[in-house]
């Protein structure tokens, strides 16, 4: 099988199930942003030394791949991946774990501190954009709302992990202070 199909040469792509749609179709935009979130996580992972965090983020990457397949399949069948509440509960446990170690958050913070924290914060913002796109898609099409809930928890996890990476690196969170009046 060749890597190139030439279907995209005219601005179209195929969804699972055979339907051909424009590349700016809401489903294509949504799974493209999931793909971008996954790539941003891949970049962030390369700067993380903690094996447990890397393993957890690799699990998230697999989940995101499944979410992309869900989004690319307007008419799910027995081969389409599915979401379940256990996936969200798993993220919540990981958020609690990551949030427990750094000092309590008492101020808004800016992205940065350590390289791994900055990369995780960037992945978080990409995830938030994907989440907004899913909100739009949910208003237009039938879609499992667990996808949206998962992305909401994922952005929280990425924030918590960024703070954890700063804490473990001895880098202080960068506190936000309002500009002068």
Residue 49's SS3 state is coil
Given a cut of 60, whether residue 181 has pLDDT beyond it is: no
Residues 161, 152: Cα–Cα separation, whole Å:
15
Per-domain residue ranges for the chain? 7-175
pLDDT value at residue 14 = 84
Residues 163, 14: Cα–Cα separation, whole Å:
40
Given a cut of 60, whether residue 180 has pLDDT beyond it is: no
pLDDT value at residue 7 = 75
pLDDT value at residue 15 = 79
The tokens of 129 are what? 């954009």
The tokens of 159 are what? 């924030």
pLDDT value at residue 77 = 87
Angle between the N-to-C axes of helices 146-169 and 85-100, in degrees from 0 to 180, rounded to the nearest 10: 20
Given a cut of 60, whether residue 36 has pLDDT beyond it is: yes
Residues 9, 43: Cα–Cα separation, whole Å:
29
Answer yes or no: CATH 1.20.1200.10 is held by domain 7-175: yes
pLDDT value at residue 46 = 98
Specify the pTM.
0.93
* Tens-digit pLDDT profile for residues 91-141: 999 999 999 999 999 999 999 999 999 999 999 999 999 999 999 999 999
* Tens-digit pLDDT profile for residues 46-102: 999 999 999 999 999 999 999 999 999 988 888 899 999 999 999 999 999 999 999
């Amino acid at each position: 099988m060749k890597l190139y199909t030439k279907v995209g040469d005219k601005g179209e792509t195929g969804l699972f199930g055979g339907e051909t749609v424009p590349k700016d179709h809401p489903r294509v935009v949504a799974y493209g942003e999931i793909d971008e979130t996954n790539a941003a996580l891949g970049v962030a992972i390369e700067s993380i030394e903690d094996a447990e965090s890397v393993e957890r983020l690799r699990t998230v990457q697999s989940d995101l791949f499944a979410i992309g397949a869900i989004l690319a399949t307007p008419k799910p069948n027995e081969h389409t991946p599915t979401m379940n509440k256990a996936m969200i509960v798993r993220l919540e446990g990981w958020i609690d774990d990551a949030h427990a170690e750094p000092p309590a958050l008492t101020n808004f913070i800016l992205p940065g501190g350590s390289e791994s924290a900055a990369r995780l914060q960037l992945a978080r913002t990409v995830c938030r954009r994907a989440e907004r796109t899913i909100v739009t898609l949910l208003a237009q099409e039938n879609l499992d709302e667990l996808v949206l809930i998962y992305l909401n928890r994922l952005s929280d996890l990425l924030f918590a992990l960024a703070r954890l990476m700063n804490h473990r690196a001895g880098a202080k969170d960068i506190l936000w202070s309002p500009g002068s009046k």
